[in-house]
Structure 1
Amino acid sequence: MVDTQNAALLSVSPDLPSDTKSQALEVLRELVGHPAADFHDGQFEAIEALVDGGRRALVVQRTGWGKSAVYFVASLLLRRRGAGPTLIVSPLLALMRDQVAAAARAGVRAVAINSANQLEWDTVREQLAADEVDVLLVSPERLTNPSFREHQLPELIRRTGLLVIDEAHCISDWGHDFRPDYRRIADLITQLPESVPVLATTATANSRVVHDIEEQLGAGVLTIRGTLGRDSLRLGVLTLPNSRERLGWLLTHLADLPGSGIIYTLTVSAAEDTARLLAEAGHTVKAYTGRTDPADRERAEQMLKDNQVKALVATSALGMGFDKPDLGFVVHLGAPSSPVAYYQQVGRAGRGAANADVLLLPGSEDRDIWQYFATASMPSEEKATAVLTALAEAGTAVSTVALEARVDLRRTPLELLLKVLAVDGAVERVGGGWRSTGQPWIYDAERYRRIAEARVDEQDSMVIYQDTAGCRMEYITSVLDDETAHACGKCDNCAGRWFRADIAEDATAEAGQTLTRAGGVLEARLQWPSGMDRLGVPVKGKIKPDEGLADGRVLARLTDLGWGGALRELFAAGAADRPVDPAMLQACVQVLREWATGDGRNPGWSGAGRPAAIVSMPSRSKPELVRSLAQGISEIGRIPYLGELDLGHGGPTGSRGGNSAYRLAGVWDRVMVGPELEAAMATLRGQGVMLIDDLVDSRWTVTVAGRALRQAGAGAVLPLVLAQAG
């Protein structure tokens, strides 16, 4: 469907014969290898606008509609007319790999420049210089790279025949996957000659996002929006009381789902736990998250494409651009935070098949996870001002690492904030790091308030989707502002429940065992943060062997499916301090038993021998919890409890979540061995000490505490912690 107000601007009706249309059809049929192939509604309109009109166009069409055919056909037609190569800005390496492979199959000479193929950059430059490239794909991050921007981008702009912005919803801060680097594209567009056509494509945009993209593309944009309904998808929702039941359902019915597919989770821990459970039950699955090594990700993608696995258990790291036409199913363990994100993920299924199954298993913890991610990406006026002040005072370029010693922000949010400030023109990335431009910057509180409200509205829409008695496809597409939204006749509300809801008793028990499984390695810090001298802490480089911790153990992460739920309640804001729950104490004892003997991957007690004593951390928020845990382990393990460390200088300062440098500065010399504890330790003679704590985040508090114990004469210090954030 072409917007009617824009359709009149087209120079030639798509229903009338034209040289462009016949040439485009010829190219299309060569690309797909089918002599009778024809364009879908809207495809030729977009091609004609680009090739004949030199216009700017936005194509919003469902996944599998053929957006890549538009820019490949347009690229080859423009190349035949003497235009330079097409420049495609593409957000994901996996997407780039698929696009380059698809182009090669279609006879389009496509190459990529991204962080994963640096050894090929010289070859790519030579090919460009020899005019042997039809399509060049670059990541949006390349546009911010000083060297690329200075040495390569000007020539690319001069020669570009067509600019394509793939997954263009990333441009919009109203979109579900906003990326600051994408806002650079608006600057890139202004640098292009007016005669160079621009195409933006996305499958996931409501009207608000569409209008935002149109404004950034400039005046006279042709917008082509098609129907979003997917006839191949059969949607359903199954509400179960807890993670145990949801995992039990998967164990019972995964084999019944058609073909191979994707199981989406909201957190990395959930993906890893679920993949382990399914694999141990005999299912061929692999985890796929942001923590997965890039090479392993690529192998996992290929295994799914080749049907060598039943499913990838994935976070949103597997999403845009992953192309498996016969993907048979998508299951969600927990709901994404917006209909746009949900539609984007379910759109992986049924692209080239008549039928595919999509099932949502929502969780009671979903809203808490949504809230965390919704606030994590919002810039703080206080932090932004601190970054700008630090750069202005430096007067020169400052690396991100060095900036961490000047501003209390962790690496990832700091880099995100710098990109936002760069888009606003307040800072710029140069050789050696970041520097202030000197331009004034004003925090747009009203804009961020409206974005936050929109996020809440989207979350509410996902709850309504779960509860609706109407057609699920009609609801999800109508929320995306599809005027053609209609009942699908296939979903569980239209045609009745198509999936079984029974759960095998042994599957529930097996899931329960996984969820009650406890223990993870708490890796010791090995190196002090850079720039500590600026914060008055006299350390640098590697932590000395006689001052460091041994690797420890943690009962669970707060994001884990099993013990994570109980721990989230325990550490929730306002939760009362109380003695450790007996079941939680027994789980810690089990962790210690496995730690003592080793598990094949990790040596028992890290080779340090059985600890001779127990010491606990002083806790200002949960003193009874920590003390009771230490005393309980002491009694069960028959290991003397010597007491707790002291708080010096008023105790640790700052709050959880700061970066390493500031967290270390906040605890330095503020956790110490008091006189009574020092006297009790005099008999240890270098033997090991178990250090008990309730919750760790940066790990610097236990690191400083371990250093104090080592200096007081302890041998190895082995930390045991109830929970780890993240």
Structure 2
Amino acid sequence: MDDDFDSGDDLFDNVNADELVTQNKRPASQGLTAKGNDDSHGNSKRQRLDLVGVGQKLLREKFGYDKFRHEQEGAIGSVLNGENTLVIFPTGAGKSLCYQIPAIAFEEVDKLNGEDRDFSGITIVVSPLIALMKDQTDALKRKGITAECNDSTKTFEQLQQISSDIRSGKLRMLYCSPEKLNNEGFVESLKYVPGGIRLLAVDEAHCISEWGHSFRPDYLKVARFVDEIKAERVVCLTATATPKVADDICKQFKIDHSNVFRTSPYRPNLNLQAKSTPNEKAKIAELLAYLDKHVGSTLVYVTVQRQAEELATTLRGKGHNAEAFHAGMKVEQKTSIQDRFMASKVRIVVATIAFGMGIDKADIRNIIHFNTSGTVEEYSQQVGRAGRDGLPSYCMMYISHEDWYIKENFARGDLPCKSSLDGLLHDVFTREMIKGRDGEDVIKLNHNELSQAWDIRASPLSILFATLELRYGLLRAITPEYSSYQFEDRGFYNKMAASDGSPEAKAIYKHAKRARKWYTFDIKAAMAGGLSRADLVRKLNHWNDTGAIMLKTGGVEHRYRVLKTLPRTNAEYSKLVKELYADMESRELDALQRAQDVVDLITGERCFAAALAEHFGMSLPDGKTSCGHCTFCTTKKAIELPPKPPVKVDIAGIQAVLKACDVRDDPRFLARVAFGIKSPRVMKLKLQNNSVFGSLEDHDFTVCINLVTSKFPVLMPCSL
């Protein structure tokens, strides 16, 4: 059963509510000190030493390290003292220990603090990547630590075991995705976990910031989640927070700046290199020469999936042991490549950014950016995967004008036309409302249908709904529903249905039709008899939890609770559209600037390492102003891009686009076709297969818009 969008029923039925303990805040103290004790207490020194011993003992026995590194001890001490904490460590610097050690130390800490608890509680880890959650939970289990991840890949039996372990208080750590926080049942059930929520760890915390390089709207709801489940303390972790993003995280989670722990991204064993190339053909020649000279495990990063496949094929053709890796591949294929790379059976992986998160291979000798990184943060995170064993490693970035088109293509695709945004809001706000389980007004929406209807990509559409929820307070996302319910008889269904005299059981038995193996339950037909969806789904989930059936669901419908009167007048719509569109325009400009920041770092007249550290509000160690071994330090020359060839405005090209596409309500849409940017409407009209798609990719995007507008200066309102 895919539990990311379940019915909202409690995960833990028949569990007695256990009052959660909310600890009082105290000023941060240095090191692993016991909360509630300071030097004015006679036994403080003994307790401080005991607690240091607890952390170090766990570090040795469970994780195999002799001592803490960098700021780990201070960060863990802050967490154990009940302080909300922010950890900004570079990739590979041991961020995960800052919540894993506290998670298993709370029982001993309680004893030192004189607290008598029946249960030591649980640590919830919010992480955006299922693969990363799985890697960490598998590693923790090997160390004898009870940890699980609540995600859609789990089998029926595994979900039952996780539920049982939480109910009994056995589980120490539970990983979940930020999207899970829209599930009312999941949120409600965590309010009554035995022993309470001792710690909420927010991994990849930069995703919460609208100014972060990989903003995810569901992360904005994590801070609210903290209050709803009454988590005792929070630790936010990231490798890539600029000062602005760090301030944003601190504000969201009420973190005092004295509880921010940073470690410089500078790694003396990494040689940061860069080279400009006139075109991709020259770049491939440079790459082949580089790989012949630099041996060892290598990651080559590209921007798009097609490049990964083509470049890996080229490298194999030249005798290199290389494989492609990208999000479009099958899970088994990706797992095999990753495992073989970890075992050094594959030397080179040519990958999109889909590869690398959570990869802990100590002897990666080379990180190569075949294309310019999308952001400085992305670059820092990726080069941080090299040389974790401390030995010299090399990080090469190739830079060319051709790369800018790809970056602009990504950035320009998320901004719809104003009329699309206006149409979307009118569509959503005039939908028929239904009554929720508590009598509140609820709107049901299918995001995919909205995306297709109003030509707005999935990511900006999600951001729009998060903005309507968190900034304007108009809607609140609640547990999504399924339109399709199927189940398999586990051998007890007929007996269970026959012995259950409830109206819900009778309706399920009546409206569930069996094919070869699976029963399909017509929930709408059952509801026509006056029964509520919630009660019917609760019964299905109960039978699923008891093992009578195995439930399978599909067809996600998002649901939103209406929080206050929605806009109705033209003036109200106009004001909201204007503000939302201004936000989206600023995001587009911000995305373009992020790509330009990478170019500026590489082509600037200064040390690469110093510029990288400064981007994150830090400097090189010991007051140094240069690393001495990056490309700039060794050549004393800035990288120069070859002159960009002049582009003659192609009037015939824009006329061909207009001839191929009869859309006349949106100049930005036509410019997307000319520039080669996919959108839901482009795909619906199959224009991506037309020869005009991307025919003007060498033009400036704004030039494409101006050309279209000059041909059709009076445009009709957008009506999709």
TM above 0.5: yes
Contact 1:204 1:343 in 2 (8 A): yes
**1:394 aligned counterpart, secondary structure:** coil
The 5 A counterparts of 1:259-270 are 259-270=296-307
For residues 165 and 466 of structure 1, what CA distance do their matches in structure 2 show?
A: 31
Contact 2:79 2:233 in 1 (8 A): yes
1:69 paired residue number:
97
CA distance in 1, matches of 2:656, 2:236: 51
Q: Tell me what 1:511 maps to.
A: none
Deviation at 1:329? Answer: 1.1
Distance of 1:355 and 1:236 partners within structure 2: 13
Call closer, same or farther: CA 1:400–1:470 in 2, change over 3 Å.
closer
- SS of residue in 2 equivalent to 1:176: coil
**Counterparts of residues 136-215 of structure 1 (less than 5 Å):** 136-145=174-183, 148-149=186-187, 152-155=189-192, 159-193=196-230, 196-215=232-251
Equivalent-residue separation in structure 2 for 1:163 and 1:326 (angstroms): 32
Cα shift at 1:153? 4.2
Where 2:396 maps in the other structure, the secondary structure is: strand
8 Å Cα contact 1:46-1:57 kept in structure 2? yes
- Give deviations 1:380-421, integer Å, cap 9, x for gaps: 765444333212222241223443564333555545544554
* Cα offset, 1:59, TM superposition: 0.7
What is the alpha-carbon distance in structure 2 between the residues aligned to residue 458 and residue 662 of structure 1?
26
1:23 to 54, 58, 63: 54
Query: Normalising to structure 1: TM-score of the pair?
Result: 0.66
* Alpha-carbon distance between aligned partners in 1 of 2:55 and 2:663, rounded to the nearest angstrom: 75
Structure 1 unpaired stretches of 5+? 1-7, 498-564, 579-618, 627-646, 672-691, 698-726
Alignment deviations for residues 542-582 of structure 1 (CA, whole Å, 9 cap, x no partner): xxxxxxxxxxxxxxxxxxxxxxx99xx9xx9952327xxxx
CA contact (8 A) 2:444 2:560 kept: yes
1:124 and 2:162 are equivalent in the alignment:
yes
Match of 2:656 among 621, 624, 628: 621
CA contact (8 A) 1:83 1:160 kept: no
1:216 to 228, 252, 258: 252
How far apart, in 1, do the equivalents of 2:584 and 2:364 lie? 37
Shift of residue 333, structure 1, vs aligned partner: 0.9
**Contact between 1:289 and 1:317, CA under 8 Å: does it hold in 2?**
yes
Instruction: Find the counterpart in structure 1 of residue 630 from structure 2.
Output: 491
Percent pairwise identity: 25
Structure-2 residue corresponding to 1:575? 650
Task: State which of 470, 473, 479 in structure 1 corresponds to 2:609.
Answer: 473
1:67 alignment partner, SS class: coil
Report matched runs for 1:201-600 at 5 Å.
Answer: 201-220=237-256, 222-377=259-414, 382-395=419-432, 396-404=443-451, 406-411=453-458, 413-415=460-462, 417-424=464-471, 425-427=473-475, 428-429=477-478, 430-431=480-481, 432-435=557-560, 437=562, 439=564, 442=576, 443=579, 451-484=587-620, 486=624, 487-495=626-634, 574-577=649-652
- Secondary structure at the residue paired with 2:385? coil
CA deviation vs aligned residue, 1:174-205 (integer Å, no higher than 9, x gap): 111111111111111222436x1110011111
SS at match of 2:559: strand
Residue 454 of structure 2 aligns to a residue whose secondary structure is coil
SS in 1 for 2:357: coil
What letter matches 1:220 in structure 2?
D
Tell me which residue corresponds to 2:498. none
Distance 1:382 1:49, change over 3 A: farther
Residues 90 and 622 of structure 1: CA distance in aligned 2, closer, same or farther (over 3 Å): closer
**What SS is found at the alignment partner of 1:292?**
coil
Name the aligned partner's letter for residue 466 of structure 1.
Answer: I
Partner of 1:43: 72
SS of 1:577 mapped into structure 2: helix
One-letter amino acid of the counterpart of residue 133, structure 1: L
Contact 1:259 1:329 (C-alpha < 8 Å) held by counterparts: yes
Is residue 284–residue 309 contact of structure 1 (8 Å, CA) maintained in 2? yes
In the other structure, the counterpart of 2:27 is 9
Deviation string, structure 1 residues 25-72 (Cα, Å, up to 9, x no partner): 1111112325xx112232122112211x21100011122221112211
Query: Cα deviations across residues 106-150 of structure 1 (Å, max 9, x unaligned)?
Result: 332211112322543222112211222111111112222455445
Give the AA of the match of 2:632.
Answer: N
What does the per-residue CA deviation read over 1:258-310, in whole Å, with 9 as the maximum and x for residues that have no partner? Answer: 32121001222222221121123332222222212233222222121111111
CA distance, structure 2, for counterparts of residue 163 and residue 577 of structure 1: 58
Q: Give the partner amino acid of 1:205.
A: A
Q: 1:244 is matched by which residue type in structure 2?
A: K
Q: CA–CA distance in 1 between the matches of 2:285 and 2:130?
A: 34
CA distance in 2, matches of 1:167, 1:262: 22
Q: Which runs of 5+ in 2 are unaligned?
A: 1-25, 34-44, 111-118, 433-442, 482-556, 568-575, 637-643, 695-720
Report how many residues are paired.
530
Rounded to whole Å, the distance in 2 between the matches of 1:203 and 1:12 is 22
SS at match of 2:628: coil
Q: 1:248 to 1:575 in 2, by over 3 A?
A: same
Determine the C-alpha separation between the residues in 2 that align with 1:174 and 1:623: 37
Q: What is aligned with 2:552? A: none
d(CA) in 2 for partners of 1:695 and 1:661? 15
1:407 and 1:426, CA in 2 relative to 1: closer, same or farther beyond 3 A?
farther
* Cα deviation 1:476-514 (Å, max 9, x = unaligned): 1112211446422222333459xxxxxxxxxxxxxxxxx
Contact 2:362–2:388 (CA under 8 A) maintained in structure 1 = yes
Offset at 1:88?
0.5
Change (3 A) 1:379 1:405: closer
Relative CO higher for 1 or 2, CA cutoff 8 Å, sep ≥ 6? Answer: 2
Task: Mark the CA change 1:219 to 1:242 in structure 2 (over 3 Å): closer, same or farther.
Answer: closer
Distance 1:181 1:377, change over 3 A: farther
Q: SS of the residue aligned with 1:343?
A: helix
The AA in structure 2 aligned to 1:397 is K
1:615-667 CA distance string (max 9 Å, x none)? xxxx952599x9xxxxxxxxxxxxxxxxxxxx999999974578657975x79
Letter in 1 for 2:239: A
Secondary structure of 1:74's partner? helix
Within 2, Cα distance between the matches of 1:99 and 1:496?
42
Matches within 5 A, 1:49-64: 49-51=78-80, 53-64=81-92
CA 1:649/1:386 → structure 2, altered by over 3 Å: closer, same or farther?
closer
Which of 688, 692, 701 lines up with 1:695 in the alignment?
A: 692
Name the stretch that deviates more: 451-460 or 57-66: 451-460
Q: Take 2:246 and 2:288, find their aligned partners in 1: how far apart are those partners? A: 41
TM-score by length of 2: 0.66
